[in-house]
Structure 1
Amino acid sequence: MPPRPTRPPGGGPRRPPATRATRAALAIPLLLGALLYTTWTVEAFLPTGLSPLQVYVSELAARDQPYGTFFRTADLLAGLLVLAGAVGALVWLPRRGWAVAGWAGLALFGAATAADSQLALSCAPTADAACAAREAAGDVPWTHSAHTVSSSVAVGGALLGMVLLTVAARRGAGAWPALARTGPVLVVLEVAATGWTLASVAAFEAGRGTWALGVGQRLQVLFIAVWIAVLAWSVAAAASPRERRG
């Protein structure tokens, strides 16, 4: 007998539970997006000339950097893959309040990350004093300001998705146990890393050094990627209500 369709709490068309194949199809782009979002780690093997202790991750992708095209392409693909996975989840997975808002936040993160890759910095301000001076004087392309906006939107979308989908996992009667267990810890770590990054940015803009800005932001990006990977695993391994009942 085929699975019995379920109707969302607010009414609307009946929707059958997602099959294993559907869940896998949604998890794959999320996992690939998470992996690509950690491409910055290969800086350890490339002669970038930039210090990971002080530079923004996005400075690796600046237009004047030797590996800029590589990092921009990785960010573009990461954003598009996460966007595809999140939109697919909105279409194919059960529509419950916390989850819908969380998937929307994750879709926003993906779209903003893809946009961010195309609004690249022209130079690396934390590593290049001349670039920093031009930026302070407003003598840089408009993409610098746009990049700041898209980066902020991406982080905001990621935080929204992380919090709401973690809540959905905790309230989901065992559907996503991996995310229910690890999600709260990753959310706390992400908030702490974001606070560190914001404080470091404020210090840099006030001329008080970078406060290990690069470390804080790399942790911020890493925790997002790890959380998305856990989400992907949770979606792929999720049991349907019938399977959970045995």
Structure 2
Amino acid sequence: MIAVLIALGALVYTAWLLEVALPTGLDPLQTYVSELAAEDQPYGVFFRSADLTAGLLVLAGALWALKAARARTPRAPWDLVGWGGVALFGAATAVDSRLPLSCAPTADPACAAREGAGLVPATHTAHAVSSSLAMTGAIIGIVALTVAARRHGRWPLIARFGPALAALELAATGWTLASVAAFEAGSGTYGLGAGQRLQVLFVAVWLGLLALSLARERKGEAAR
């Protein structure tokens, strides 16, 4: 059941890919992913609902896994840290969906001006905090559970691809942070949207691999 929850969460977390087919009016190479869910956007309710659903599914799976990890004493330390990170990611993603931007600052100069002058709702600041916590939790989960997989000889897919995905996630995060700093300094976006979309895509791919690994482990245990 943990694998199902994580897999569904990973799938719903990629709902932003539907921007390819929907007339959002936002440039995916330059805009925040979260701007799709802004209150003034045509599909805001849909994208906020997707984030809420994804966050709650991942949180439920992580909490269930944390409970199971406590019963595996030799493996518990890295498992507990990793699943704690995944739980933080899920919880922060769900909270993030309840703290939407009021407008799209990278696409709307008037919105950017209001944001710079502090004339936007406090949810803009709160959203930045919850988004940062979500990515922090994801990175902790990716790194710690990859270490657990390699150290204890389990989850071959995570053990094999986890290090590369961790490196890619950190690189995409660095790109995103640098682009945000450039945008806030009035120097352009430097592909902010592309960097952030890679950031969330790598998290979704890793969650999918984790779900598949859990399902295979469960199948192996049932066969023994």
Offset of 1:92 from its aligned partner? 2.3
Question: Is residue 164 of structure 1 aligned with residue 144 of structure 2?
Answer: yes
Runs of 4+ with deviation above 4 angstroms: 239-244
Distance in 1 of aligned mates of 2:138 and 2:68: 21
Distance in 2 of aligned mates of 1:126 and 1:211: 11
Distance in 2 of aligned mates of 1:145 and 1:242: 46
Q: Deviations over 1:132-170 (max 9, x none)?
A: 000000000010000000000000000001100000011
Distance in 2 of aligned mates of 1:159 and 1:91: 21
Matching residue within 52, 73, 93 for 1:76: 52
Q: TM-score, normalised by structure 2?
A: 0.95
Distance in 2 of aligned mates of 1:47 and 1:104: 37
Residue in 2 that maps onto 1:19: none
- Paired residue total: 220
Distance in 2 of aligned mates of 1:241 and 1:186: 25
Residue in 2 that maps onto 1:7: none
Distance in 2 of aligned mates of 1:71 and 1:113: 12
Distance in 2 of aligned mates of 1:201 and 1:46: 25
Residue in 2 that maps onto 1:6: none
Residue in 2 that maps onto 1:108: 88
Structure 2 vs 1, CA of residues 130 and 98 (structure 1 numbering), >3 Å: closer, same or farther? same
5+ long unaligned stretches in structure 1: 1-24
Q: Which has the higher helix share?
A: 2
Aligned partner of 2:109: which letter?
A
Question: Is residue 125 of structure 1 aligned with residue 105 of structure 2?
Answer: yes
Residue in 1 that maps onto 2:38: 62
Question: Is residue 219 of structure 1 aligned with residue 198 of structure 2?
Answer: yes
Residue in 2 that maps onto 1:86: 62
Question: Is residue 194 of structure 1 aligned with residue 173 of structure 2?
Answer: yes
Aligned partner of 1:62: which letter?
A
RMSD of aligned residue pairs (Cα, Å): 1.6
Distance in 2 of aligned mates of 1:213 and 1:81: 27
Offset of 1:236 from its aligned partner? 1.0
